[in-house]
Amino acid sequence: MLGRRFRYPKNKNIVYVVWIRKLFKRVPIYVGQSQKHVGRFGDYISGSFTSPTDFRVGTAIDYLRGDGWQVTFVYREVADRRRQEEKEKRRLRDHGYVLLDDALPGYDYKQADQEEEKCKIIAFVKENILRRQATNA
């Protein structure tokens, strides 16, 4: 028997937060918006290098899962997804959280080196998310 349920949305616009959790520590790492719902989350599983956001979020998730963190997506349906996304980012930043898109610029996948970009993402996660959260614990 299958176990997880997903409520079919009434509204196609969502804002979501990617959270990581280990023991009693819960930390947001990314805020996004979409009309694709679960399909958007699948983009991060694929982590295609040709899409900087998908690669960035997917690489960070893969690294964090390997380090023992659980990853969850929390979303809500909204009328104005872009405005609500910015509002949620601001709220989390005001609480001292650092998000993946705070200092990680995009890249031109035709020019960039995939391994080099992966190293930048992991270094950012270690320095700006994990280390900062450890000092705020």
Is 85 inside any structural domain? Answer: yes
Q: Does position 134 have pLDDT exceeding 70, yes or no? A: no
Q: Whole-angstrom distance between the N-terminal and C-terminal Cα of the chain?
A: 39
Count up the domains in the chain and report the number: 1
Inside any domain, residue 100:
yes
Q: Residue 3: pLDDT above 90? A: no
70: enclosing H helix or E strand: strand 70-77
- Return the pLDDT at 36: 85
In a domain, 6, yes or no: no
Let me know if residue 1 belongs to a domain. no
CA angle 19, 84, 57 (to 5 degrees): 35
Look at residue 3 and tell me if it is in a domain: no
Mean predicted confidence (pLDDT) in 122-129: 92
Confidence of residue 133 (pLDDT cuts 50, 70, 90): low
For residue 121, give its domain range: 14-136
Kindly report whether the global pTM for this prediction surpasses the value 0.85. yes
